[in-house]
Chains A and B, each alone.
Chain A
Amino acid sequence: MPLIETVDLCQIFDKKDILKNINLKVEQGEVFALIGPTGAGKTTLLRLLNLLDTPASGKIFIDGTDTNASTKIRLAMRRRMAIVLQKPAVFNMSVYDNVACGLKWRGTETGEIHEKVTNILAMVGLNTEINRKARTLSGGETQRVAIARALAIEPELLLLDEPTANLDPTSASRVEELITGILQRFDTTIIMTTHDMSQGQRLADRIGVMVDGEILQTGSSNDVFTAPRNREVADFVGVENIIDGKITTSEDRVVTIDTGNNTIEAISEYPSETGVSACIRPEDVTVALSKQSTSARNLFNGEITRVISMGALSRVELDCGFPLVALITSRSAQELDLKKGSRVYASFKATGIHVIRKGGK
């Protein structure tokens, strides 16, 4: 049984659908990241999961229990989880008292509270600030107090809303390390939101891509990244080469896609006449100066429009009648003497192309 499950969850604000039929299951011990652009409804969903707001329709089950059964059940269920809000609010009291609050409300004994709070403050690196007024802390420190406060109650489910969004890079990496630490030390189930695809990949077991109030795809970060279900997901996860076209022939799953002035061969189940987008990962594109014999089915002559060196790798932008980005080692870029205006041959394999149907959900 999943730890938390939503069934057709909808939320409406000012007659606008903020969440549309969210059906989500998160298992015990899993780290699930909801990624999506700002305004996709991630925070709204997290607030509903924490039972802070009431959904317009739909249900939330925790361990199979309907959370909307009674106020008493809502409180009991809320006490099994904790949320760290994007802009955490701290109570106008000391750091210690802030972290102790949740335990006090649960009627924990003073001695036990002291032990837990001291340990957790040491873990988040705030043991020297125990008696400081929480309102005088910096943004990064406040975030750590909020995380400590949530951890103090030893939640079964920890909800993190953009835990690093408002922080400077140093504080952000510190908070991320802290989250990794929590994952190693506790068997906490985590649902986090982020608009940072790479953060989701680093921390989560499973990712859900949320756009316009809908979860468009869930899966491992690798699945979502290499095989986005539709154009919106592909755009959001940062697939660089998305080429629109129409399947003209289909034989034994090998399809020809007409992109207007070129044709691409790919592997796909879709029949002829289907409008599709071909996603090509930049690292799958090879660049050569001459028309070498290659097993790749797709070979295009193009002009380099830009070369950007990114340390060990270089990003080569080409115009092959359609824009194409290739990611190659900086060493080969140097050896080939790639620069703006050079004409090169770009090739990629049919099997490396992920074909998605246009308008598909």
Chain B
Amino acid sequence: MTELWNGFTKAIELIVSLDPEVIEIAGRSLRISLTSSLLASLICIPLGSLIYFRRFPGKRALISLIQTFYSIPTVAVGLFVFVFLSRAGPLGGLGLLFTPTAIIIGQMILITPILLGLTISAVSGVERGILDTAYSLGASNIQVAIVVLREARFAVVAAVIMGFGRALSEVGISLMVGGNIRGFTRVITTAISLETSKGDIELSLALGIILILIALVINVLLNRLQQRS
């Protein structure tokens, strides 16, 4: 119990004193996960809207499939990306394995189903009258999609924040395709896992607290958004 208490106080010290290693790792985590969630949003929000607006055979099945992949294990995505990016893999020549880019790619794949699925449900929550009104006022298909996304903006932003949370908290992908290289691909989650196994409870706890603080901020943001909508 004392060990835990000591660890906790030291962890607070590390955070308050802005320990360079802690800041560096937390900063990298945020950078990588923000990049992956923003890039995934750029693809998924238009794609999700397209799936919603277009009628095509197998649409329902596709949406079910997307929803199934909400809870895809991170190690499964890690393995998939590893196979593709490893030297012998189809994209091995790019030399991306064990780089931040590899983590970003993995996280993008991980959160794509969440972003797609939640975008589809966000836009389908917009009442039919809004679509009709936009069409009747002479909007083109793209203009209608923009109006609908605008109407669903709170739910869409909530989807992006959910995706960011999932990307930030995953460990499997970062470990498998990032390699946990100190000063290069080490992020909060991989550092916690390594430092704990090394017995450096203080650093692990400090990073864990930062992760929880970020989660808290995300939650507060989400709540506020839900209240506004």
Contact = CB atoms under 8 A, between A and B. Distances in A.
Interface of A: 47, 50, 52, 75, 78-79, 81-83, 85, 87-93, 101-102, 105-106, 146, 149-150, 153
Contact of A153 (B127, B129, B137): B137
Given A91-B147, A105-B143, A50 B136 contact: yes
Interface residues of B, number: 16
Interface of B is mostly: helix
Contacts of A149: 133, 137
A82 B136 contact: yes
Contacts of B130: 89, 91
Contacts of A153: 137-138
Given A91-B147, A92-B151, A105-B143, A85 B133 contact: yes
B125 to A, nearest CB: 12
B139 interface: yes
A81 B129 CA distance: 17
A126 B110 CA distance: 49
17 contacts: A50-B136, A52-B136, A75-B138, A75-B140, A78-B136, A83-B136, A85-B132, A85-B136, A89-B129, A89-B132, A91-B133, A91-B147, A93-B150, A101-B137, A101-B147, A105-B137, A150-B136
Nearest to A80: B138
Contacts of B135: 52, 78
Contacts of A89: 127, 129-130, 132-133
A105 B127 contact: no
Contact of B138 (A47, A87, A105): A105
Nearest to B154: A92
B136 to A, nearest CB: 5
Most buried by A among B132, B136, B143, B151: B136
Interface of B: 127, 129-130, 132-140, 143, 147, 150-151
A300 to B, nearest CB: 54
Identify the 3 closest CB pairs spanning chains A and B, nearest first: A89-B129, A102-B137, A79-B138
Most buried by B among A78, A92, A93: A92
A105 B136 contact: no
Nearest to A149: B137
Nearest to A90: B133
A338 B19 CA distance: 102
A106 B138 contact: yes
A150 B140 CA distance: 16
A82 B137 contact: yes
Nearest to B143: A105
Nearest to B132: A52
A83 to B, nearest CB: 5
B129 A88 contact: yes
Contacts of A79: 138
A106 to B, nearest CB: 6
Contact of B133 (A81, A88, A106): A88
Nearest to B153: A92
Contacts of A85: 129, 132-133, 136
A206 B131 CA distance: 31
Contacts of A47: 132
B134 to A, nearest CB: 8
A321 B137 CA distance: 57
A14 to B, nearest CB: 17
Nearest to B152: A92
Contact of A105 (B132, B140, B150, B151): B140
A103 to B, nearest CB: 9
Contacts of A105: 137-140, 143
B138 A102 contact: yes
B51 to A, nearest CB: 19
Contacts of B143: 105
A52 to B, nearest CB: 5
A146 B136 CA distance: 11
A208 B143 CA distance: 35
A149 B133 CA distance: 10
